[in-house]
Amino acid sequence: MWKIHNKLLIYLLWIMEIRLVSSFTSAMLCGRIPGLTPAQRQFCSEMPDVLIALGEGQQLGARECQQQFRGHRWNCSEVWHKNVHIIPIASREAAYTYAIASAGAAYAVTAACARGNISKCGCDLRHKAAPPEPWKWGGCSADVDFGIRHTSKFMDARELERDSRSLMNLHNNRVGRRIVKKLLRTDCKCHGVSGSCVMKTCWKSLPPFSLVGDKLMQKYHKAKTVQAVRGKRGLRLALSRKKHAIAAGQKPAWAWPKRMELVYLEASPNYCERSIQTGTLGTAGRSCNRTGHGPQSCDLLCCGRGHNTQHIHRKSQCRCQFHWCCDVECEVCDESYEQFTCK
């Protein structure tokens, strides 16, 4: 477990580094990033511009993960923070984290290609093939295959152990990348007299990244428990079977997780209490919603410990009016509200 922890920590450190040194030369960049495997170091010196986009992708993934889990007991903030514990448990949350991180990477590299920021790629020209009239491919189609190929080369290179945890990470990495490809959109533009659309030009474009986050969130809720089983070609992940099926003496026939399913090995902790072992900070002190029913409700977020209520009074500007031209006049109002935080 600690091995995985350290691996991730080192990985996060190099992300920090990339942001600091992105203007340096590639030799310096690649030399300064700690903990790269030889394959990753090679990759870095060959394609430093891809690596910079990968760093952007990490930020993208981090922001989206935090947005999706805002208010939940586990809110994704600890994972991307520098000095805190990183998911040592092979949980559903770990599955989401890996998937969104690799989706972010594939997305950012693809976007950087289309912007012309990466020397070895650009637009996907395969979409130039003549489709049926009366429209044609044109413009700049996102080269998602380049993005996927190069992020997988780099990110999967971390998973050297070939144990059950690294198989899980590899699987979830792939799911994240595939979703980016699956959600590509076709945008079109009409040409012709006053928008008559006699002729259309279409291209593939990236969706807003929040759609990737939404889709992965659906998959997070439907994630499957797996276990590693030994087959002819080494370890492989199989769907965990229900206990009663085994007890009933059924033949062991393994079922495999689907290509687009997130998978995890261990049940999640409840994330209620602070614990170094599970790498959680606990929910004490988190602000909660007394009237809501969602994950941020005091009932759920505070894990039954109850909440503190604070009465807050403050002065604020209110009843603002716009006077022609160009003045805004406000009154000062006393505002008071209650704030709830978990015990």
Ligand X SMILES: *[C@@H]1O[C@H](CO)[C@@H](O)[C@H](O)[C@H]1NC(C)=O
HSE, side-chain direction, 13 A CA sphere, residue 258? 7
Q: Where are the alpha helices (DSSP H) in 33-156?
A: 38-46, 48-68, 77-80, 92-115, 144-155
Residue 117 in contact with ligand X, rule: CB under 6 A: yes
Nearer to ligand X, 44 or 52 (CB): 52
**Least distance (Å) from ligand X to the CB of residue 131?**
29
CA distances from 322 to 319, 327, 329, 334 (A): 10, 6, 7, 21
Shortest distance in whole angstroms from residue 19 CB to ligand X: 11
In the numeric block, the tokens 């290609």 are attached to 113
The site that binds ligand X (CB under 6 A) totals a number of residues, namely: 12
- Please state, in angstroms and rounded to a whole number, the distance separating the CA atoms of residues 104 and 176: 8
Among 179, 262, 281, 298, contact with ligand X (rule: CB under 6 A): 281
77 binds ligand X (CB under 6 A): yes
Least distance to ligand X, CB of residue 170, Å: 28
CB of 198 to ligand X, least distance (A): 33
Regarding 52 and contact with ligand X (CB under 6 A), the answer is: yes
Please select the residue that binds ligand X; options are 19, 115, 126, 128, rule is CB under 6 A.
115
Q: Given phi > 0 = left and psi -120 to 50 = alpha, else beta, which region is 71?
A: left
- What's the CA gap between 107 and 127, in Å, rounded? 19
Task: State which residue, 60 or 281, has the beta carbon closest to ligand X.
Answer: 281
Question: Which residue number, 215 or 286, has a Cβ lying nearer to ligand X?
Answer: 286
CA-closest candidate to residue 209, choices 64, 59, 53: 64
Span near ligand X by CB under 6 A; candidates 155-163, 202-210, 241-249, 283-291: 283-291
Q: First and final CA of the chain: distance in angstroms?
A: 30
Q: Is 268 in the site for ligand X (CB under 6 A)?
A: no
Shortest CB 290 distance to ligand X, Å: 7
| Nearest CB to ligand X, comparing residues 88 and 257 | 88
Of residues 55 and 176, the one with the C-beta less far from ligand X: 55
Candidates 32, 292, 299, 305: give the one binding ligand X (CB under 6 A): 292
Closest by CA position to 152, among listed 174, 171, 184: 174
Closer CB to ligand X, 114 or 212, in the complex: 114
> 89: buried, middle or exposed (CB in 10 Å: 19+, 13-18, 0-12)?
buried
Q: Tell me the C-alpha to C-alpha distance, in Å, between residue 85 and each of 98, 150, 154, 298.
A: 15, 28, 23, 25
Q: Considering the complex, state which of residue 75 and residue 141 has its C-beta at the smaller distance from ligand X.
A: 75
Binding track over 15-44 against ligand X, x by CB under 6 A: ------------------------------
283 binds ligand X (CB under 6 A): yes
DSSP state for residue 50 in the 8-state scheme: H
> Which residues of this protein are in contact with ligand X, per CB under 6 A?
52, 70, 75, 77, 115, 117, 281, 283, 286, 289, 291-292
